[in-house]
Amino acid sequence: MKTTQIESEVTGTVWSIPVDVGERVAEDDPIIMVESMKMEIPVCAPAAGTITEIKVAQGDTVNTGQVVAILTS
Amino acid sequence: MTSRDDRQTDAANAAETVADKLAALDAAKYALGDAARPEAVAKRRAMDMATARERLDMLCDDDSFREIGGLVEPDRGHDLSRDLIAPADGAVTGTGLIDQKPVNILAQDFTVLGGSIGAVADSKCGRLVKFSRERGQPMVMLLEGGGHRIQDGMNAAHFAAASPVFRELATLSGWVPMVTAIMGQGFAGPTAYAALCDFVVMVRGQSTMGIAGPALVKAGTAGEITKEDLGGAERQADQQGIADLAVDSEEECMQAIRTFLSYLPQNASEAPPVVPCDDPIGRRDDALLEVVPADSRRVYNMKKVIDTIADKDSVFELKPGYARNMITAFARLNGRPVGIFANQPMRKGGILDVPACEKAAHFIAMCDAFGLPLVSLIDIPGISIGPAAEDTGLGRRSGRLFFEMGIATVPLASVVLRKGYGGGYYAMGGGRAFDANIALAWPTAEICAMSIEGAVDVAYRKQYEAASDPQAKRAELIANIKAQTSALDAASGFGIDDVIDPRDTRRILIETFANCPARRINPAPPRHRPISPI
């Protein structure tokens, strides 16, 4: 079992969270949508696995490199 | 006077002597092979790794590898090296065919003194460089080992002379394609050689590279780290981009090398190889009408565009795991190799940051060196801003992309798919910035000096804040500007050549490159050399 911290690649605001804790995702599935530069930019799963924690809520400010979710695979 | 009997006896003795010599030669060459070195082979099997000679068999066309320097003995001129046993001095060198074309190849033998580089092996490498330079043939290095052989190197009488290897590799750069495959442990020497190569490939879970391995790191810093964490594919290919590709097996590694070379000429004086193509020039895909969302807030996957306009199954992505906001890929258009670089909106909105700029710059330089026309697919919201961006030296390092675009002379086609904003639009070769052979836009293009909302907030804030309904006024100002930044507006000033139906992109690119000379006119004055910003 490998735990991966999913980091935001951009600074912005959490626009939406299209997954739930416990949900299985595929590599590159959007986990968090961050509004930045007037776009909704996905923070994607780096690998297939299960989302075991979501660390942000809609409307939160996130910074580049900030951990927004935990993936277990 | 010699009698006939004497002559027959002498002849018989001479033939026996040659036969003996041939037998000795056969024995000496047999001793180099894997069949004569079962312990070395067993060590490889225990690690689930191939021998140097097996790698050459995997890489080259059947029975095409011709070895030179196999019979060398190692340098034994010092106290530490007097008793060395080192078949081929730990490096198998020679020329093999890859897809019927000669390539000069060095394969380090990790079973010989840990793959360390001996003085004689260094000479053999220099000889391959000479072959590559004089014959105009690619150079491939399959590296697994350490750096300088300690038994040679801890002696100033030997080491002070250094070695011309890096100068030699630098003189080859841009003349012939240069490839390094890091096949296993590749700290120090192999990493330094790889740095000068055009294509570096690693095997996940097996290859490691970096300045120094864990033992030296521990000795120098007292820090403990595994070789995988220090220099594995995840760090060096995905995070740092000092390797161009990470694959899952040695077989895939050799295939990747063959694929990479298939897009390139043998040397810079030849044209890139055009292959037969049955994918119609005029193929129009309705999917291209749906790729770019009407809602400019939505991102999309630029790879779908690339895969659709290129010849089927012809796309070979370089550095797919690094700087994913910039896509760099070889592809073919009607059988002609091209280099495609494109913003990837799904990653960081496609913005340009240091990794993206440097990834694109290196790719453009390589395509320019070997005559591959460039295709720039543009959807760029700008160049990254803010303190975090400044901390990366972006203000200077972004210059490298402008620089390589400025000195490239291969044909260039730019296509603005959606956003073409500011300095990023310039850097991607939009409009007349870099003398594109054709500058195009899709109907969804929006071209202007900066993000529209940003422009309004910078230049018109006082105006809209003074209004009775500031937000409405702001929206009105944004709408007014949007009304003059469309693709048709761009075409009206002749800053681009045409606005096109996305489905015609493939055909127009193919026709453009068929009509262009192999090189654009180089406007440079008679300088000795340009100076890269970085």
DSSP line for B230-297: HHSHIIIIIIS-SSSEEESSHHHHHHHHHHHHHTS-SSTTSPPPP----S-TT---TTHHHHS-SSTT
This model of the complex carries an ipTM of: 0.90
Inspect the interface and report whether the beta carbons of B453 and A38 lie closer than 8 Å: yes
Which helix (H) or strand (E) is B530 found in, with range?
none
Domains (ranges, CATH) in chain A?
Answer: 3-72 (2.40.50.100)
Q: Which two tokens stand for residue B465?
A: 């804040």
Q: Which two tokens stand for residue B313?
A: 């199954």
- Determine contact: A38 vs chain B, CB below 8 A: yes
Euclidean distance between CA atoms B408 and B406, whole angstroms? 6
Domain limits, chain B: 44-262, 288-445+486-515
Tell me how close the Cα of A11 comes to any Cα of chain B, in angstroms: 9
What is the DSSP code (8-state) at residue B410? Answer: S
Under 8 Å CB pairs connecting chains A and B tally to 40
> Does residue B209 contact residue B191 with C-beta atoms inside 8 Å?
yes
Task: For residue range A45-54, list pLDDT tens digits in order.
Answer: 999 999 999 9
| 2.60.40.2470, 3.40.920.10, 3.90.226.10, 2.40.400.10: CATH of B288-445+486-515 | 3.90.226.10
Q: What is the mean pLDDT of residues A38-66?
A: 94
DSSP line for B47-81: TT---HHHHHHHHSSTT--EEESTT------SGGG
Inspect the interface and report whether the beta carbons of B299 and A9 lie closer than 8 Å: no
Task: For residue range B482-508, list pLDDT tens digits in order.
Answer: 899 999 999 999 999 999 999 999 999
Sheet holding B199-203, edge to edge: B66-68, B91-98, B101-108, B139-143, B178-182, B199-203, B245-247
pLDDT recorded at residue B40: 96
Inspect the interface and report whether the beta carbons of B349 and A39 lie closer than 8 Å: yes
Interacting residues of B101 by C-beta distance below 8 A, sequence separation 6+: B137, B138, B261, B266
Tell the residue number behind the tokens 């968090």, with chain if given: A32
Inspect the interface and report whether the beta carbons of B345 and A9 lie closer than 8 Å: no
- Determine contact: A57 vs chain B, CB below 8 A: no
- Determine contact: A37 vs chain B, CB below 8 A: yes
pLDDT recorded at residue B433: 97
Tell me how close the Cα of A53 comes to any Cα of chain B, in angstroms: 22
Euclidean distance between CA atoms B414 and B248, whole angstroms? 34
Are B44-262 and B288-445+486-515 in the same CATH fold?
Answer: yes
Residues in B closer than 8 angstroms to A36, CB to CB, are: 349
Residues in A closer than 8 angstroms to B325, CB to CB, are: 9
CB-nearest partner of B297 from A9, A40, A44: A40
Q: Is the pLDDT of residue A6 over 80?
A: yes
Name the residue among B169, B164, B183, B176 with its Cα closest to residue B59: B183
Residues in A closer than 8 angstroms to B345, CB to CB, are: 39, 41
> Does residue B241 contact residue B197 with C-beta atoms inside 8 Å?
no
pLDDT recorded at residue B68: 98
Inspect the interface and report whether the beta carbons of B346 and A10 lie closer than 8 Å: no
pLDDT recorded at residue B5: 67
Q: Which CATH class is domain B44-262?
A: alpha beta
Q: Which two tokens stand for residue B377?
A: 């697919």
Inspect the interface and report whether the beta carbons of A38 and B351 lie closer than 8 Å: no
Residues in B closer than 8 angstroms to A9, CB to CB, are: 325, 347-348
pLDDT recorded at residue B161: 87
Number of other residues whose CB lies within 10 A of the CB of residue B335: 15
Inspect the interface and report whether the beta carbons of A40 and B348 lie closer than 8 Å: no
Task: For residue range B444-489, list pLDDT tens digits in order.
Answer: 999 999 988 889 998 999 999 999 999 999 999 999 998 999 999 9
Cα–Cα distances in angstroms (integers) from residue B511 to residues B257, B364, B505, B507, B516, in the given order:
30, 21, 10, 6, 9
Q: Which residues of chain B have pLDDT under 50?
A: none
Residue of B nearest to A12 (CA): B348
Euclidean distance between CA atoms A58 and A69, whole angstroms? 13
Q: Which two tokens stand for residue B458?
A: 């910078």
pLDDT recorded at residue B294: 79
Q: Is the pLDDT of residue A29 over 80?
A: yes
Residues in A closer than 8 angstroms to B352, CB to CB, are: none
- Given the DSSP bridges, would you call strands B178-182 and B101-108 parallel, antiparallel or unpaired? unpaired
- Determine contact: A40 vs chain B, CB below 8 A: yes
pLDDT recorded at residue B222: 73
CB-nearest partner of A10 from B296, B348, B451: B348
Residues in B closer than 8 angstroms to A35, CB to CB, are: 297
pLDDT recorded at residue B156: 86
Name the residue among B434, B427, B430 with its Cα closest to residue B414: B430
Residue of B nearest to A42 (CA): B346
Task: Say whether pTM exceeds 0.90.
Answer: yes
Inspect the interface and report whether the beta carbons of A41 and B299 lie closer than 8 Å: yes
Interacting residues of B373 by C-beta distance below 8 A, sequence separation 6+: B336, B338, B339, B367, B410, B411, B412, B413, B513, B516
DSSP line for B174-223: TTS-EEEEE-SEEETHHHHHHHT-SEEEEETTT-EEESS-HHHHHHHH--
Q: Locate the DSSP E strands across B9-61.
A: none
Residues of B with CB under 8 A from a CB of A: 296-299, 325, 345-349, 351, 381-382, 386, 388, 451, 453
Q: Which two tokens stand for residue B206?
A: 């097996």
Inspect the interface and report whether the beta carbons of B349 and A37 lie closer than 8 Å: yes
